[in-house]
Amino acid sequence: MQKLQHKFAVLITLGWLLTCAYQAQACSLALHDWKRLFHLRLPLSAPLTPLAELDAILDKFPRNSLKQILWVANHNLFSSFSIALLPLLPNWEAHLPWQTLPTTASVVELAKGRQNQSEIPLIIGADQNQLQIALFVDSNSSNRCFQLVLMQTSRIRSVYASRQTPWAQESRGMTWVSLVFYQLPLPGRILSLAVFPVYQTRRALIDNHEYVEQLLAEKFLATRPEQIFDPYTFDFPDLPE
């Protein structure tokens, strides 16, 4: 109950910030100078999406050598439903049957228990999950452009208990969604919506170049000089540890 109240407070704060932003002025892509306005860290029982887990095993196994993936975490409604979105991704590993399992033992113990199965599953466990919410403002656009970032981090331990080719890996998983908008996060005001990682890179779901060009023409945004090209221009500054 207390957690729910906390989340509700966060939502109200965000809404308030966005309303204030509208009263301030407008923003864009172009050459941004992101300043952090707001940052919040929330513990999660399970990851909201398995994108980082998918990324952790990318190209680690020969194509179609796996038959099933067991995703171990203290799952909640979000995580259980999120695996339904996996078939939309291009990776072959995403098209395997994914099954959610509660954390009843370590991934090593779970893997040992399934070592004698005819088709050994790949076991991926996610713990130490956190969700970070951050709002950045672009000072190059007179505080008119905003970037809302939802970042999920977790410790991912994967084990494949094959007797011939045993495999284990621990990694830090990171998934983020970034929404860049002008004044308000409304359709028509969105400059870009991007997700990371899809094939280990940032994938833009929305990239509204026309709108950006319009804002640049009206000088609401700072034009990026041609010689400044940084592939990470669209990303955001590091969030605090």
Partner 1 sequence: MRKLIVCILILAGSHSLAAQSYRSFDLDAFIAEHPTGASYDPITRCFLNSTVIPDEIASIGQKIMEIEQKLSDLAVLQRANAEKLLEAKDSNAEADGWQKNLVLARQEKDLKSHKYELLARQQNLQQLSSRDSGILPDIGNLVNDIRARFNDPNAIYLNYLPATETQVHKNWLSSPLQIYLWSPHERYIAEYIENSYEISQIFPQCRRPVVFQKSFEREP
Q: Return the range that interacts with partner 1 (CB under 8 A); candidates 73-81, 142-150, 164-172, 173-181.
A: 164-172
Among positions 88-107, residues that touch partner 1 (CB under 8 A) are: 106
Which listed residue (32, 75, 144, 157) binds partner 1 by CB under 8 A? 157
Q: Determine the Cα angle at 16 with ends 13 and 22, to 5°.
A: 145
Select 73 or 107, whichever has its Cβ closest to partner 1: 107
Q: Taking the CA of residue 43 as centre, how many other CA atoms within 13 Å lie in the half-sphere pointing to its CB? A: 5
Structure tokens at 46: 């399970």
CA 218 to chain centre: 32
Among positions 106-135, residues that touch partner 1 (CB under 8 A) are: 106, 108, 111-112, 115
The size of the chain, in residues, is: 241
CB 5 within 8 A of CB 124: no
Among positions 166-185, residues that touch partner 1 (CB under 8 A) are: 166-171
Select 23 or 200, whichever has its Cβ closest to partner 1: 200
Select 3 or 163, whichever has its Cβ closest to partner 1: 163
Residues 6+ apart with CB under 8 A from 210: none
Interacting residue ranges for partner 1, rule: CB under 8 A: 106, 108, 111-112, 115, 157, 159-161, 165-171
